[in-house]
Amino acid sequence: MVRIEFLGPIAKESLEMEATTLHDVAHKLSDDSEVKEWLSTCAVAVNDTLVSSLDTPLKSGDKVSLLPPVCGG
Amino acid sequence: MVRIEFLGPIAKESLEMEATTLHDVAHKLSDDSEVKEWLSTCAVAVNDTLVSSLDTPLKSGDKVSLLPPVCGG
Amino acid sequence: MLELHENALNVPDILSRWYQKERSNNYGAYLSFVGTVRHENGIEGLSFDLYEPILKRWFEAWQQRAKAEGAVVKMAHSMGDVMVHESSYVAAVFSPKRRVALELIDAFVEDFKATAPIWKYDLKDGVRIYAKDRSAPIAGSGLLETRQ
Amino acid sequence: MLELHENALNVPDILSRWYQKERSNNYGAYLSFVGTVRHENGIEGLSFDLYEPILKRWFEAWQQRAKAEGAVVKMAHSMGDVMVHESSYVAAVFSPKRRVALELIDAFVEDFKATAPIWKYDLKDGVRIYAKDRSAPIAGSGLLETRQ
């Protein structure tokens, strides 16, 4: 099981799912009506490191974070 | 008479001379052994405004300042 | 030096403390940037969420980049509510010479705005509203979007 | 706001005082630059002469340039001796948005270095030595040189 966390303004509790790569995560979240609208503008981190490929492998216990558009300062 | 002032590190008291343009000032200072070496690196102000032409007219009471290379901060 | 504070920053304290800490370390230039909440759009203030693990990594990478140029970066940011005319952000660079500091502060602040995992909300009538229109997707966003 | 002080600047006081003065004037960005005397070349400190009439005109022209962009510039500089690890120069820009402030502080500091009528001396064994090799002729210098 990997844990999916939604950061900042995405008003959603974290959830757990089976996934071996980010392809699986993308596929499962595309069915989630609460999250779907955020996917096009979110960056993705695996265990707190930003990643840029859907082929990124996942193992049990990994944390996947979705980071919506930012505005610090 | 115009008054010539030497600013910063030029160790020279101010002096007065007859001059109708900066051409006259340039000519007279070129004979001054203390000042001569500074002329190539000094900017010139007339009545506290930097000027860029030797044709700048001068009248009695004007102040001509020589500004050697600067380094503030 | 990354400082996270609840609510508004004490800017005089921060600018002074950093100055005193570094003034004898032979940095000729100290550049600082302070961000203050403006009165606009009828807001009472702003509110901030941040995600500390990624913010720390981002900042550590900047410390390394600064160090390679003989410089030091520092940053303070607010968490939670910061009212109009209070300050939420201070960034600073110390370097031996001025060009490095002038260029680093610019690059640091711009990268901060584009990348640091911090989310801003307007406070209106006591309600927190995500400042979506002023927010920027982090580079590489949209990875999980499935195109059908 | 152009402040000239005898000897070293009280940097915490200046940065704090300017912040407090402008913090409610809706400037989102406050950029400041502090110049501190470095321990190098065996000096005990630096010493400064300045020519106030032209310095004031130069600064007033910058105030106008800043005002045209909705910004404010401030500057403090030392006169006389400033010892190693003391500070001799503070410059600041306040502006509604960050890009204007980031660009103005850079242009202001560089123009200051190239143009402001201030002369620097090294202090060595109590003697004041003109820092000729680090000084730059003001644009247009050499006007009075007669070429024979």
Q: Where does the pLDDT of residue D147 fall: very low under 50, low under 70, confident under 90, or very high at 90 and above?
A: low
Say yes or no: A55 contacts chain C, CB-CB below 8 A. no
- CB–CB contact C57 A51 (8 Å): no
Q: Where does the pLDDT of residue D9 fall: very low under 50, low under 70, confident under 90, or very high at 90 and above?
A: very high
Establish if C148 belongs to a structural domain: no
Tell me which chains share at least 3 CB pairs under 8 Å with chain C.
Answer: A, D
Contacts 24+ apart (CB under 8 A), D54-57: D54/B45, D54/B48, D54/B50, D54/B65, D54/B67, D54/D117, D55/D2, D55/D116, D55/D117, D55/D118, D56/D2, D57/B48, D57/B49
Contacts of C84 (CB under 8 A, 6+ apart): C37, C38, C39, C43, C44, C45
Mutate to test the interface with B, among D5, D141, D147, D148 (most CBs of B within 10 A): D141
Distance from CA of D117 to the nearest CA of B (A): 6
- CB–CB contact C144 A7 (8 Å): no
User: What ipTM is given for this predicted complex?
Assistant: 0.94
When divided into structural domains, chain D yields a total of: 1
Contacts 24+ apart (CB under 8 A), B60-63: B60/B1, B60/B2, B61/B1, B61/B2, B61/B3, B62/B2, B62/B3, B63/B2, B63/B3, B63/B5
The percentage of residues in chain D with a pLDDT greater than 90, rounded to a whole number, is: 97
Mutate to test the interface with D, among C95, C102, C105 (most CBs of D within 10 A): C102
- CB–CB contact B70 D109 (8 Å): no
Establish if D111 belongs to a structural domain: yes
Say yes or no: C145 contacts chain A, CB-CB below 8 A. yes
Give me the domain span that covers residue C40.
Answer: 2-126
Q: Using the predicted structure, report yes or no on whether residue B11 has a pLDDT greater than 90.
A: no
Helix, strand or coil for residue A28?
A: helix
- At position D89, the amino acid (one-letter code) is Y
- CB–CB contact C12 D16 (8 Å): yes
Distance from CA of D136 to the nearest CA of B (A): 5
Q: What is the mean pLDDT of residues D108-131?
A: 97
Q: Domain B2-67 falls in which CATH fold?
A: Ubiquitin-like (UB roll) (3.10.20)
- CB–CB contact C143 A27 (8 Å): no
Q: Cβ contacts (< 8 Å) between D47 and chain B: which residues?
A: none
Calculate the alpha carbon distances from B63 to A57, B43, B46, C108, D26 in Å.
78, 14, 6, 47, 43
**How high does pLDDT run on average in chain C?**
97
Q: What is the mean pLDDT of residues C27-38?
A: 98
Establish if C142 belongs to a structural domain: no
Say yes or no: D12 contacts chain C, CB-CB below 8 A. yes
CB pairs A-C closer than 8 Å: 115
**How high does pLDDT run on average in chain D?**
97
Establish if D112 belongs to a structural domain: yes
Under 8 Å between Cβ of D115 and D123 = no
- Return d(Cα B41, Cα D138) in angstroms, integer: 8
Decide: pTM greater than 0.90: yes
Chains A and B are in contact, defined as 3 or more C-beta pairs closer than 8 angstroms:
no
Contacts of D100 (CB under 8 A, 6+ apart): D29, D69, D70, D71, D93
Domain ranges of chain B: 2-67
Q: Cβ contacts (< 8 Å) between C30 and chain D: which residues?
A: 33-34, 36
- Report the pLDDT value the prediction gives residue D122, as an integer from 0 to 100: 98
Q: Cβ contacts (< 8 Å) between C143 and chain A: which residues?
A: 22, 26, 42-44, 51-54
Say yes or no: C77 contacts chain A, CB-CB below 8 A. yes
Q: In this structure, what CATH number is given to the domain that contains residue D28?
A: 3.90.1170.40
